[in-house]
A and B are shown apart, each in its own frame.
Chain A
Amino acid sequence: MKAYRPINQILSAVLLLALATGCVTYVRTVAVQQPVLPQGQVLPRHAVLVLDQSLADYQYVFKASGNTVIYPCGPALQNYARQVAKKCFQQVDEAPSIEKAVAFASADLILIPRPVKCDMSVPVWAWENVNMTMVVEWTAKDRASQNTLWLKTITATGSAAKNMGRSDLVMNQNVFDDLSLKTYNAIQEAPELK
């Protein structure tokens, strides 16, 4: 059995190369509508939301069969972070870095969303679902001391039937719906932020 494995792997590689008619890179726009969030508590705090360059530039790169698909998630992530923060806190300002956020003397909280990773699985068969998982970490720091008050990792998932037209659109929307709701609930339930 073991003796066949290298041969199989070589055959497999040759097949994959044959199937890949040249390396093609696609860029798929991540266009999502921000979901309607439930009416919860507006926390009486002044927060500064850090929307830095790493968030703005974040993209997920999926490679398969010689092709590359790029999902530029940055703008959607920025909008999601804005919407959730504004829904949860009485006053929200934005800053491009932690250093700039610290300069907001009247603020008491600094909020830092950070995309950790994203992964997608694409099935072979048309009747199966395309699945995506996105992990975003949120840190809340005390502005004055810069101590970490709260840290939460949000793992969101979304799927769409592979055989439906533009399954990407549906999958991305489902991921961001899940991400927004989970983040909103996590902030609402955090005793450290009250």
Chain B
Amino acid sequence: MLGFELGRESGVEVAVDPFVESGRTETYFDLDAVANGIAILHVRVSNQSTGKTFLVEKANFKLIPKGADTDLSGDGQKIERSKAVGEVLVVVGPGPALVGLAMMSKSTEIERNLIAKELPDQTLSPGQSMEGFIYFTPVEKGKDWSRTATLITSLTETKTHQSTDFSIPLSH
């Protein structure tokens, strides 16, 4: 089932689309992320405020499994955001002997593609929007990880340094 989950605070909207269908991850990334325990989320952030610029950083996006401590300062049970997407190389790995080089070539292309489509860090002016993918590992392989997870994030207003927090349950 496809669906966006929304969070709205202080004139900012965060829309999250968890990629929990193998077919979709294969279409976009040539990789069965679900079977390999990689959580992929498409995130769109829109600044509809008047006069506020927000700092959007991937490091501030966290995936929290159900029942875990949702305190932003807590760190125990969070699923780590993939920092270098390098895990994919391990996941795809070299396959059968005769196609080993082809597999290696494919895995480097998958990794490059993941990097190219990643959500960028940036400031978001009033009226602007941005989008991209965020990756988390590990999640339970072959399962719909989104049913039991919440995405939390915090955007900082550049002038006042005030944070706007979002907690977006992904269950649908």
B7 within 8 A of A: no
B148 within 8 A of A: no
Q: Which residues of A contact B108 (CB under 8 A)?
A: 64, 119-122
Q: Which residues of B contact A100 (CB under 8 A)?
A: none
Q: Which residues of A contact B122 (CB under 8 A)?
A: 151-153
Interface bits B148-161 vs A (CB < 8 Å: 1, else 0): 00000000001101
B35 within 8 A of A: no
Q: Which of B96-129 contact A (CB under 8 A)?
A: 96-98, 100-105, 108-109, 111-112, 115-116, 118, 120-123, 125
A150 touches B123 (CB 8 A): yes
Which one of B84, B103, B112 has the highest number of Cβ atoms from chain A below 10 Å of its Cβ? B112
Q: Which residues of B contact A151 (CB under 8 A)?
A: 55, 121-123
A153 touches B121 (CB 8 A): yes
B158 touches A148 (CB 8 A): yes
Chain B interface residues toward A at CB < 8 A: 53, 55, 84, 93-98, 100-105, 108-109, 111-112, 115-116, 118, 120-123, 125, 158-159, 161
Would you list 8 pairs from A and B whose C-beta atoms are within 8 A, ordered by A residue?
A: A9-B94, A15-B97, A16-B104, A135-B115, A148-B55, A154-B120, A192-B125, A192-B158
Give Cα distance in the complex from A154 to B109, angstroms: 19
Q: How far is the CB of A181 from chain B (nearest CB, A)?
A: 16
Chain A interface residues toward B at CB < 8 A: 8-9, 11-16, 19, 64-65, 117, 119-124, 131-133, 135, 137, 147-155, 157, 190-192
A8 touches B112 (CB 8 A): no
- Nearest residue in B to A64 (C-beta to C-beta)? B104
Give Cα distance in the complex from A14 to B98, angstroms: 11
Q: Which residues of A contact B100 (CB under 8 A)?
A: 11-12, 15-16
Give Cα distance in the complex from A149 to B125, angstroms: 10
A12 touches B116 (CB 8 A): no
- Nearest residue in A to B101 (C-beta to C-beta)? A124
Give Cα distance in the complex from A13 to B122, angstroms: 41
- Nearest residue in B to A128 (C-beta to C-beta)? B105
Give Cα distance in the complex from A16 to B97, angstroms: 9
Which one of A8, A120, A137 has the highest number of Cβ atoms from chain B below 10 Å of its Cβ? A8
Given contacts A8-B96, A15-B100, A121-B108, 7 further A-B contacts (CB under 8 A): A16-B94, A117-B115, A121-B105, A122-B105, A137-B121, A147-B158, A192-B53
